[in-house]
Amino acid sequence: MPGSDPRPHLHALAHLEAVVRTGSIPAAAGELGVSPGAVAKQMAALERRLGCALFLRVQRRLVPTEAALRARAEMHQALLAAERAWAALADPAPSPALRVLSPVSFGVRWLLPRLPRYHAVHPGLGVAIQNTNVGDDWRRLPFDLAVRRDAAGAQGLRLHALHRERCTLMGAPALLERLRPAAGRALTELPWIDSATRPGMLDAWLRRVGLRRTQLAGLRTYPRYYTALEAALNGEGVLIGSVTVLRALLEEGRLAAPFPHVLTWGDSYVVATTDDAVRRAPTEAFLAWLRAELRMMAGWPPPPK
């Protein structure tokens, strides 16, 4: 008659899992560090308590019954869960992800592609990036560190200088090859692209070459810089871009800079951080990494290959 105690006997079930998996009582005993007699005793006690056979002897081999196979499958998952529980107790709890705000173009084109490099240096520090548009009330968003193109709206926060952009003329290589000024087409005749969210960038570069926007034959202004950039990538026109933020597109050949030495200053990026002492160490580590990555990209134009 089966035992009246319904509670699982984990010690006996762990022995059962080992016997089914290894295929024999001696092998299970060697793995568990006990004698074969102790394992056999546990199996017999388990069969009495359950009221059913767990193994059949076929030509001197132990063949598990269907009940034993089901019990082994469940016990295997339970042992894995126990291992995970032990690992969670033995290892320190992972730190919550560092919350980072970033302008869309900087986040998508520069920061996100480099995050694997950050994780390689700081494997235990997670990062969650939220991109923001011009006009967003970013102070209402939860963050530990905010990358901004200026210090507007950062009152009461700790500000850290990060980087100042250098900008030049860029466009899709096929468009520039077809419309290059060297082929007799003046800069004023090129199709130009501008962005309402980056005021002054185009005018500063035009002044550098002695031109004004009123002299441009074709100029299309997009409401957001990232939409203007997509138009440039599609060959719709040329635009003024940051050689830092768009460096990967230049190196991949998706954009070209026909006048790499004609540069103007762009926006000055700052980092705003909260005064949370608990988050200060990971925030400062991320800021130091940002600065190191930007220093690595300081040289422009790159030396000829």
* Model confidence at 212: pLDDT above 90: yes
pLDDT tens by residue, 13-27: 888 888 888 888 888
What's the farthest any 2 CA atoms get from each other in the chain? Answer: 101
pLDDT-derived band of residue 183, with 50, 70 and 90 as boundaries?
A: very low
The pLDDT value recorded for residue 30 is: 80
Give the pairing type, strands 218-222 and 158-170.
unpaired
For the chain, give the mean pLDDT. 84
Weakest-pLDDT range from 143-147, 163-167, 177-181: 177-181
In the chain, the percentage of residues whose pLDDT exceeds 70 is 85
**Domain locations in the chain as residue ranges:** 10-90, 98-164+267-296, 166-266
Mean pLDDT on 154-175: 91
* Model confidence at 12: pLDDT above 60: yes
Residue among 277, 199, 194 nearest 237 (CA): 194
Mean pLDDT on 205-223: 92
The fold for domain 10-90 equals Arc Repressor Mutant, subunit A (1.10.10)
pLDDT-derived band of residue 155, with 50, 70 and 90 as boundaries?
A: confident
Cβ neighbours of residue 1 closer than 8 Å, sequence gap 6 or more: 51
* Model confidence at 175: pLDDT above 80: yes
pLDDT tens by residue, 61-109: 788 888 888 777 777 667 766 766 665 555 555 556 889 999 988 998 9
pLDDT-derived band of residue 8, with 50, 70 and 90 as boundaries?
A: low
pLDDT tens by residue, 218-276: 999 999 898 899 999 989 999 999 999 999 999 999 999 999 999 999 999 999 998 77
CATH superfamily assigned to domain 98-164+267-296:
Periplasmic binding protein-like II (3.40.190.10)
Q: Are 75 and 17 in contact (CB under 8 A)?
A: yes
**Concatenated DSSP letters of the chain:** ---S--S--HHHHHHHHHHHHHSSHHHHHHHHTS-HHHHHHHHHHHHHHHTS--EEEETTEEEE-HHHHHHHHHHHHHHHHHHHHHHHHHSPPPPPPEEEEEEHHHIIIIIHHHHHHHHHH-TT--EEEEEE-TT--GGGS--SEEEESS-TT-TTSEEEEEEEEEEEEEB-HHHHHHH-GGGT--GGGSEEEEETTSTTHHHHHHHHTT--GGG-SEEEEESSHHHHHHHHHTTS-BEEEETTTTHHHHHTTSSB-S-TT--EEEEEEEEEE---STTHHHHHHHHHHHHHHHHHT---SPPP-
The pLDDT value recorded for residue 88 is: 56
CATH superfamily assigned to domain 166-266:
Periplasmic binding protein-like II (3.40.190.10)
Whether 98-164+267-296 and 166-266 share one fold: the answer is: yes
